Structure 1
């Protein structure tokens, strides 16, 4: 926190989280109360994160918001709701207005959980700036009413968001629990998705006949997944995560009109992962995928198999981008993979991100 005259400022950095068991559906739109529990991994701050600086002074005459240095014409309803709640809780009613400056290191609104990192960093910065009581639970609440999944980015490691009680989040295992787990994110399309998650969730609740069936399976999957994480059983972890991703997108397809987030590259990657796993003679799962509300897969893999999988990606998604450092690092495809009968998709990838589990947000 910096103090220059009566100007106060706090900057917080937070990363997105990737849902292992998806949150989809709100029983209360205003407070963003989820229909089901969800489980996620918070990413490391190194590659993907949001930086949010919140400042206040007596000379400010209105709230202002800058995204990537460009002043926005008005605050969104959710951001205004967060600020209203902060004012309600703040002890110093002389401080009335704030300036918010936010920047993402990755594309927004493309299924990469940018709203989670953005609102988590905003919530923590506001909580620190105004010295709000019960900072952890307060930051989680503020993050949630901004963007539901942001409640999970308030913590690092493996995080569970409860659909009961106060509907807040908690860390169930810290980053140190499974340090060899890695994430490989394939960005096939960074464009804004055609249907927002908010609109799609509401449409699903109103029209999908599979929605209630999905809800009935979630808690059992979460308990089994937590046990797999506890003993680092990657085979069980991989199967549950991939099946939940498929079920989530099946519910989206069952929505009317259908909500289709996956594209041809997404489907190709799904086939590639299953073919790659079958090449192991011991039937050991090497990699698992999940897709949020977008076409870009998040692949979970143990560190020992990362280079092998990156080699496979280089072969099937060759890039002409000489600056693609990940593609440069890997070797040619191994002969063991010649049995994988899938087409080559040249220049299908915009970017590959190799990252790991993160320890959570920080004030910088």
Structure 2
């Protein structure tokens, strides 16, 4: 699909008011996206596990208004007004208005909440923008009931990307690929797709325990971090590596090769942080406890031969990945060895999910 496919035709209906609610998950990238081109186009393709427990639930109430010249909305986060969130939502609505021309016809009340603590280091922008985009698409479907499911999901992912790049991977599917890759059919820079190749059952129930090492504001925002890839001395090599790793991942996922999966995922995580440490200005987003956790994971894996590994986002927290068949003993290891390195002993058990769901009142 192209951008033209997301421009709507004439709407068939025009409801006066209504309410829609969607729950969208966060995601954790296995092959990382770091660096982008205008507008929200990835410099390299990526692939992610969709999570299940870590999610944002958003309701959008809409009501026809007299003035159709401006965008109009109220925003409530966990039941309270959040005025400092509004500029980001305003910018997002302005960016997507071309594709959702009904936006100025209604006043919207956006009510949103997370299943995880805000500023916990979990990608709330991904789940939040995905949930909001799905709500807006649901409204468009009320205006145009003939909208088919494939276009609905692709356009929701496209819109979510315009709010937060990784949000396009939080719409549909347990394993989602984003970014044009010549060896991946139907892959696109514009939206995420369900991974089209064979995936061994072991990866369909994979566990992810998020160890909350540091829950404060990140030292550098993802937006700034992506910009630092412009002129980065190792950028082009990194982009080529990501393309290559997606090719290498195909047989790993198909065969359930956990040893090679571990090598790939941990290498990608450390490469992401290496790019931040070698940018200008440079950043060290890992904390001492991040490194202690990583070393304990390596020691535990070597001693017990348990296929557990880590990955990282652009922050200090550690995502501990492991097959569900090892869940009981890995979670004992977490309690015995890793909890002491988490801020206030906090962590979240999660697992691979299946994507966003509509919630009917």
Deviations 1:157-205 (CA, angstroms, capped at 9, x unpaired): 1110014655211111699943442112111222121211101221232
- Structure 1 unmatched runs, 5+: 319-344
Tell me the equivalent position of 1:182: 207
What TM-score do the two structures reach when normalised by structure 1? 0.82
Give the SS at the match of 2:228. helix
Tell me the equivalent position of 1:140: 157
CA apart distance, 1:94: 7.5
Among 299, 309, 317, the residue aligned to 1:288: 309
The whole-number CA distance in structure 1 between the counterparts of 2:16 and 2:342 is 52
Q: How does 1:164-183 map to 2 (within 5 A)?
A: 165-172=188-195, 177=201, 178-183=203-208
Give the SS at the match of 1:204. coil
Contact 1:200–1:259 (Cα < 8 Å) also in 2: no
Give the SS at the match of 2:57. strand
Tell me, yes or no, if structure 1 residue 355 matches structure 2 residue 361: no
Contact 1:21–1:38 (Cα < 8 Å) also in 2: yes
Tell me the equivalent position of 1:267: 291
Give the SS at the match of 1:209. coil
Among 200, 205, 223, the residue aligned to 2:225: 200
Tell me, yes or no, if structure 1 residue 301 matches structure 2 residue 322: yes
Tell me, yes or no, if structure 1 residue 32 matches structure 2 residue 40: yes
**CA distance 1:201–1:95, change in 2 (3 Å):** same
Deviations 1:100-159 (CA, angstroms, capped at 9, x unpaired): 111111133443111100000000010001226531121011100000000000112111
The whole-number CA distance in structure 2 between the counterparts of 1:194 and 1:93 is 35
The whole-number CA distance in structure 1 between the counterparts of 2:267 and 2:114 is 30
- Structure 2 unmatched runs, 5+: 1-14, 182-187
CA apart distance, 1:243: 0.4
- Segment of structure 1 superposing worse, 5-14 or 252-261: 5-14
Contact 1:204–1:256 (Cα < 8 Å) also in 2: no
Among 175, 180, 185, the residue aligned to 1:158: 175
Contact 1:64–1:75 (Cα < 8 Å) also in 2: no
Tell me the equivalent position of 1:222: 246
**CA distance 1:181–1:257, change in 2 (3 Å):** same
The whole-number CA distance in structure 2 between the counterparts of 1:175 and 1:229 is 5
The whole-number CA distance in structure 2 between the counterparts of 1:347 and 1:360 is 28
Tell me the equivalent position of 2:8: none
Contact 1:40–1:160 (Cα < 8 Å) also in 2: yes
Contact 1:56–1:95 (Cα < 8 Å) also in 2: no
CA apart distance, 1:297: 0.8
Tell me the equivalent position of 2:98: 88
How many residues are aligned here?
326
Contact 1:157–1:175 (Cα < 8 Å) also in 2: no
The whole-number CA distance in structure 1 between the counterparts of 2:103 and 2:74 is 18
Tell me the equivalent position of 2:6: none
**CA distance 1:73–1:185, change in 2 (3 Å):** closer
What TM-score do the two structures reach when normalised by structure 2? 0.83
Tell me the equivalent position of 2:236: 212
The whole-number CA distance in structure 2 between the counterparts of 1:189 and 1:75 is 22
Contact 1:68–1:102 (Cα < 8 Å) also in 2: yes
- In terms of fraction of residues, the more helix-rich structure is 2
Tell me the equivalent position of 2:55: 49
The whole-number CA distance in structure 1 between the counterparts of 2:311 and 2:66 is 44
The whole-number CA distance in structure 2 between the counterparts of 1:144 and 1:213 is 25
Q: How does 1:305-324 map to 2 (within 5 A)?
A: 305-317=326-338
Contact 1:152–1:159 (Cα < 8 Å) also in 2: yes
CA RMSD of aligned residues (A): 2.4
